Amino acid sequence: MKAKLAKVDMVAEGTGAFTFELQDPFTFEPGQTCDLTIPSPRYQDDKGSSRTFSITSTPNDLPRLTFATRLTGSAFKRTLLEGAPGLEIDVDGPYGSFVLHKNAAKPAVFFAGGIGITPFHSIISDAAARRLPHKLLLLYSNRTAASTAFLSDLEAAQRANPNFQLVATITDPGPAGTWRYSTGLMNADFVKPHLQNANAIYYLAGPPSFVAAMRAALGELDADPDNIRTEEFSGY
């Protein structure tokens, strides 16, 4: 399926969001991914001209589709970042089952490490828009306040949806500023006070090291491994 670049937004320090206008009908579930290919990239390197990204927008935003990524300086991302509106790409998908469970009696606990926020941004925004009854908790870890993508969107979702709670932390607070959430590592001690329902479904997304650490923390807290779902973001 063809899509054209509509706009580029900086949603955090070193993080860009790319919105595309779709040329054909498209459906997806929040949390799913797409494969993006630039047919004639301006820049090229050995990483190739295709990437897999989680969809950051919601079905309500169609026919526009948004993806966000850390800007690593790769040829693919430089081509997108410097691309003029109308730059054409190929979109394949949607793929994946990293989507919100149907049984609203089971709370959802989301663990996001850095750019792992992207599928949760879609799920949380969609839940607020559709007034879903699910209880949602987001535990969101970043290095700095400036690198915390979509914070204002998540705060807006929390105001709009009484079933959603945001818990954010950064590991490098730097000089005193306006950060009003937690600081420090997200580990078992940090997580424990927030896990009060044994029936919760846990969703882990971020770099492989973050996903492994959160899985270990949940193991320390005797979470049911059958209730843990993961999405690793490697090589972004």
- Cα four-point dihedral sign 147, 152, 154, 155: positive
Residues 42 and 85 in one domain: yes
In order along its 236 residues, the chain shows pLDDT tens digits of 999 999 999 999 999 999 999 999 999 999 999 999 999 899 999 888 999 999 999 999 999 999 999 999 999 999 999 998 999 999 999 999 999 999 999 999 999 999 999 999 999 999 999 999 999 999 999 999 999 999 999 999 999 999 999 999 999 988 767 899 999 999 999 999 999 888 999 999 999 999 999 999 999 999 999 999 999 987 65
Answer yes or no: is 103 within a domain: no
What's the rounded Cα separation, in Å, for the pair 151 and 145? 9
Residues 70 and 126 in one domain: no
- Alpha helical stretches, state H, the chain: 75-81, 117-130, 151-160, 188-191, 208-220
Answer yes or no: is 10 within a domain: yes
What's the rounded Cα separation, in Å, for the pair 70 and 130? 29
* Structural domains counted in the chain: 2
Answer yes or no: is 101 within a domain: no
Strands 88-95 and 33-37: antiparallel
Residues 162 and 49 in one domain: no
Residue pair 140/148 in contact (Cβ under 8 Å)? The answer is: yes
Provide the 3-class DSSP secondary structure of residue 229. Answer: strand
Its domain, for residue 205, covers 108-232
Enter the pTM of the model: 0.95
